[in-house]
Amino acid sequence: MPESYNDESVKSLDWKEHIRLRPGMYIGKLGDGASPDDGIYVLIKEIIDNSIDEFVMGHGKNIELNIVGREVIIRDYGRGMPLGKVVDCVSKINTGAKYDSKVFKKAVGLNGVGAKAVNAMTSFFKAQSIREGKTKIVEFNRGKIIKDLPLQACEEKPGTIISFLPDTEIFGNFHYISEYIEKMLWNYAFLNNGLSMWFNGERFHAKNGLLDLLQRNINGNGGVIYPIIHIKEDDLEFAFTHSSKQYGEEYYSFVNGQNTTQGGTHQAAFREAIVKTIREFYNKDFETSDVRSSILAAISIKIEEPVFESQTKTKLGSSHISPEGMTIRNYINDIVKRNLDNYLHKNPETAEALLMKIQQSEKERKEMAGIKKLAKESVKKASLHNKKLRDCKVHLNSNHENRLESTLFITEGDSASGSITKSRNVRTQAVFSLKGKPLNCYGLSKKIVYENDEFNLLQSALNIEDGLDNLRYNNIVIATDADVDGMHIRLLLLTFFLQFYPDLVKSGHLYILQTPLFRVRNKQKTFYCYSQKEKEKAIFKTGKNPEITRFKGLGEISPGEFKHFIGANIRLDPILLKRTSSIAEILSFYMGKNTPQRQLFIIDNLKVEEDIIDKVA
């Protein structure tokens, strides 16, 4: 019998209840901190954005971030929130100064939501404003005021201090990864000349904007074809060069200081303007892909009242630089065309190097044309018969929140893929099954991607042939057995991605699935253990003579049990590349012909774990 629909069916939630019930509307996906776009980092960003806006308006050159355990403390030296409005600024939805564009003309946050969302999703939230020799302190628990102190005299420098502890009821057993936070802070420094960001005492400061950004990120790309071209005019800044070692395109794009990781109208306009300008300069109708192949670029634009496609502000939707201004497309095209054309005329060596790079890309494209055609036919033919890809219902063209949740598990063999397939969330999780060990593609040309059936089908499943714009899954998870063969397959897959799609790794899309090594249980309790240490604790908790199972392969884990490991409590290890890491050097050492060196490395780094079952028994 259908449920009744009446007056009692309609409910009104207050602001904090709505945020906690639908957190994805405010911070995207939740996660546990393994991914750079997980909610705990969005909480930090929302608070820092407010401090950045103060800096942009000319107030405060230092912003301090400290993380003690799980507590986050952010301190700026701006004007401080108006003392009589501290409670309103952090707990009344759609309240703030940024609706007045005269005060915050080109701010990051315009909706009066960010700080309130953080407040609602934290078990502890403290807001302190220091202004005019006085301070106001208010404390909250899950958005509810628990302490509202009267005004007090204060001799500290003016500014705002926000402290919070993310709520484990929402974020579970979360953890912070310093590399993600450091990258965020570096981006703030690159985009705000004169600003110093501090993280647990370490300073993040840059003098040359996007030029510094590209130079800092170039180390892992194995060199460039020509010196970085860096242009600044009005509210647009961009820098770019072409890599000598990688395929695809790599962009760092920003709007009003916000890292738009999903691009948007400004990035699309910039890509179009680069191609148009280069065609006109050389007076040749180059293919778009030949011009943009291997490009490394950064673009930053400031616009009034930006419209983003979600509260997390990762993709710009605005079409104009201001409500009454010209289109973003025309604005960017005019500045790029004028400045880049002048630069190439004044720097003939760079112009010649760029031309040779485009011609080389053209030559490679033509050589690959026939192979790609056969490869696509092979994919079409294979898709009619094989079961290599068990797809999910969510794809890139779905809404932003769902796209962030999409995951592809890459498994070895039918047994493992069968277990994951039966226990997965069919809405967001897909499974790709490998047939045996992939080829060691180190040192091979991209031609092998299309000639090798496994690689061809994998890149087709991911839809990354032409870059990351159409990537079908936000999270790509390598799920192999915890044995020597599984580790070998893992290395071969990492080699494939680093060799041909390094931007996918550097963008934070690639992970290793952690599955339990042991199951320890008695008639009352069952513990799944991911390490020897966890197993010891489980044995102690279960008492004498527990049943202990060592999982040698993923296929040994039943679908019913697998649900625990790929659901809300999934453990993922992100593949992180250090700034100083050279992809070419990494691949050469681990996958090259220097076998004696690797043997010594393995011996020096070998970890031997004691089997304590007999001791406990």
Determine which helix (DSSP H) or strand (DSSP E) holds 594, and give its type and residue range: none
pLDDT at residue 57 in the model: 85
* Helical H segments across 283-406, by residue range: 288-292, 328-346, 348-385, 400-405
- pLDDT greater at residue 222 or residue 458: 458
Rounded Cα–Cα distance for residues 493 and 499 (Å): 10
Is 110 a residue whose pLDDT tops 70?
A: no
- pLDDT greater at residue 464 or residue 287: 287
Is 581 a residue whose pLDDT tops 80?
A: no
Give percent of the chain with pLDDT exceeding 70.
88
Mean pLDDT of 245-260: 84
Could you tell me the pLDDT band of residue 471, with boundaries at 50, 70 and 90? Answer: confident
Rounded Cα–Cα distance for residues 421 and 562 (Å): 10
Mean pLDDT of the chain: 85
Find the range with the poorest average confidence among 55-59, 152-156, 243-247, 439-443. 243-247
Give percent of the chain with pLDDT exceeding 90.
42
End-to-end Cα distance, the chain: 57
Rounded Cα–Cα distance for residues 295 and 248 (Å): 7
- pLDDT greater at residue 522 or residue 92: 522
**CB 166, CB 69: distance < 8 Å:** no
pLDDT at residue 499 in the model: 86
- pLDDT greater at residue 569 or residue 80: 80
> What DSSP string runs through 74-92?
EEE-SS---GGGHHHHHHS
Is 385 a residue whose pLDDT tops 60?
A: no
Could you tell me the pLDDT band of residue 387, with boundaries at 50, 70 and 90? Answer: low
Could you tell me the pLDDT band of residue 383, with boundaries at 50, 70 and 90? Answer: low
pLDDT at residue 610 in the model: 43
Could you tell me the pLDDT band of residue 137, with boundaries at 50, 70 and 90? Answer: very high
Q: Where in the chain is the domain with CATH 3.30.565.10?
A: 15-204
Mean pLDDT of 539-552: 88
Which DSSP state fits 439?
P
Is 100 a residue whose pLDDT tops 60?
A: no
Q: Tell me the CATH number for domain 209-365.
A: 3.30.230.10
Q: Tell me the CATH number for domain 15-204.
A: 3.30.565.10
Rounded Cα–Cα distance for residues 384 and 192 (Å): 53
Rounded Cα–Cα distance for residues 320 and 313 (Å): 17
Is 329 a residue whose pLDDT tops 70?
A: yes
Is 396 a residue whose pLDDT tops 70?
A: no
Mean pLDDT of 565-575: 86
Sign of CA dihedral 537, 541, 545, 546: negative
For 494-528, write each residue's pLDDT tens digit. Answer: 999 988 888 888 888 999 998 888 999 998 899 98
Could you tell me the pLDDT band of residue 227, with boundaries at 50, 70 and 90? Answer: very high
If one counts every other C-beta atom within 10 angstroms of the C-beta of residue 487, the result is 12
Is 2 a residue whose pLDDT tops 60?
A: no
pLDDT at residue 377 in the model: 76
pLDDT at residue 198 in the model: 97
Is 247 a residue whose pLDDT tops 50?
A: yes
Mean pLDDT of 441-460: 86
Second-level CATH architecture of 386-515+551-580: 3-Layer(aba) Sandwich (3.40)
- pLDDT greater at residue 398 or residue 173: 173
Find the range with the poorest average confidence among 233-237, 247-251, 461-465, 612-616. 612-616
Is 613 a residue whose pLDDT tops 80?
A: no
> What DSSP string runs through 100-158?
STTTSTT-S--SS-HHHHHHHTEEEEEEEEEETTEEEEEEEETTEEEEEPPPEE--SPS
Give residue 352's identity as a one-letter amino acid code: E
Q: Where in the chain is the domain with CATH 3.30.230.10?
A: 209-365
Residues 6+ apart with CB under 8 A from 291: 274, 275, 278, 279, 358, 361
Find the range with the poorest average confidence among 163-177, 272-286, 523-537, 594-608. 594-608
pLDDT at residue 186 in the model: 94
Q: Where in the chain is the domain with CATH 3.40.50.670?
A: 386-515+551-580
Strand order in the sheet with 250-255: 229-233, 236-242, 295-301, 250-255, 258-259
pLDDT at residue 97 in the model: 53
pLDDT at residue 562 in the model: 85
Residue 579 C-alpha from the chain's centroid? 16
